[in-house]
């Protein structure tokens, strides 16, 4: 059974190089971005292009250590692309906000790395699935039974397992920085289906 452990995440982030941490954050964000596109399709609001551009720039940094010249601008455009949850009733609104926030945080980590950013993005990935499942179950999230049901759900287990396995790979791989990031980017970016397993048409 997979569990989310913020303390373990913090220790992991302290034990590996910052570029490995940012790569993990990008992997989490890539699983969230398809939900943003579903939000756009449902509401007619938003723009995923700044998010994709920012992710691509962050991947380039992860691979080469080349800081984007327009890093601040990229972060600003991501923030502007984030929906206000009070303005929309789409079931994808919170997930879309989480996607934009995760990419913004990854850019912040490139500017000035903090291990807390790693925990924040992993939590956003978990929370997107958590809220989705709560709505699906239509249960009171304060009930212990409901919390157990959410954690044990295959969708949540899939997200938590992906996070753990990717952290383990990034910790132990002895390949070069460029090879690791190139392979992960090729396999895990531009997904048609994100962590909620709703395919973007």
Considering the chain, what percentage of its residues have pLDDT values greater than 90? 89
Residue 112 maps to a domain: yes
Q: What is the CA radius of gyration of the chain?
A: 16
Confidence of residue 139 (pLDDT cuts 50, 70, 90): low
Tokens matching residue 164? 């753990």
Q: What is the mean pLDDT of residues 91-111?
A: 97
pLDDT at 132 exceeding the cut of 60:
yes
Model confidence pTM above 0.85: yes
Residue 187 maps to a domain: no
Residue 156 maps to a domain: yes
For 74-86, write each residue's pLDDT tens digit: 999 999 999 999 9
Q: Which domain holds residue 156?
A: 6-179
Residue 11 maps to a domain: yes
Where are the alpha helices (H) located in the chain, listed in sequence order?
6-15, 18-43, 49-64, 71-81, 93-111, 115-137, 144-152, 154-172, 177-188
Residue 200 maps to a domain: no
Residue 43 maps to a domain: yes
Residue 140 maps to a domain: yes
Residue 163 maps to a domain: yes
Q: Domains in the chain: how many in total?
A: 1
Confidence of residue 70 (pLDDT cuts 50, 70, 90): very high
Specify the CATH number for the domain of residue 17: 1.20.1590.10
């Amino acid at each position: 059974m997979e569990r989310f452990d913020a303390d373990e995440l913090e220790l992991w982030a302290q034990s590996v190089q910052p570029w490995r941490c940012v790569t993990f954050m990008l992997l989490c964000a890539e699983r969230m971005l398809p939900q943003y596109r579903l939000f756009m399709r449902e509401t007619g609001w938003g723009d995923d292009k700044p998010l994709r551009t920012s992710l691509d720039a962050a991947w380039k940094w992860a691979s080469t250590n080349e800081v984007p010249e327009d890093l601040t601008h990229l972060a600003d455009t991501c923030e502007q692309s984030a929906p206000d949850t009070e303005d929309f009733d789409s079931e994808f609104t919170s997930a879309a906000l989480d996607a934009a926030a995760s990419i913004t945080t990854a850019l912040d980590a490139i500017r000035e790395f903090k291990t807390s950013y790693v925990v924040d993005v992993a939590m956003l990935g978990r929370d997107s699935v958590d809220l989705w499942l709560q709505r699906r179950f239509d249960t009171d999230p304060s009930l212990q039974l409901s919390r157990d049901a959410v954690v044990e759900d295959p969708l949540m287990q899939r997200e938590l397992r992906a996070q753990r396995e990717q952290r383990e790979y990034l910790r132990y791989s002895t390949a070069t920085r460029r090879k690791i990031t190139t392979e992960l980017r090729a396999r895990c970016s531009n997904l048609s289906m994100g962590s909620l397993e709703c395919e973007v048409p």
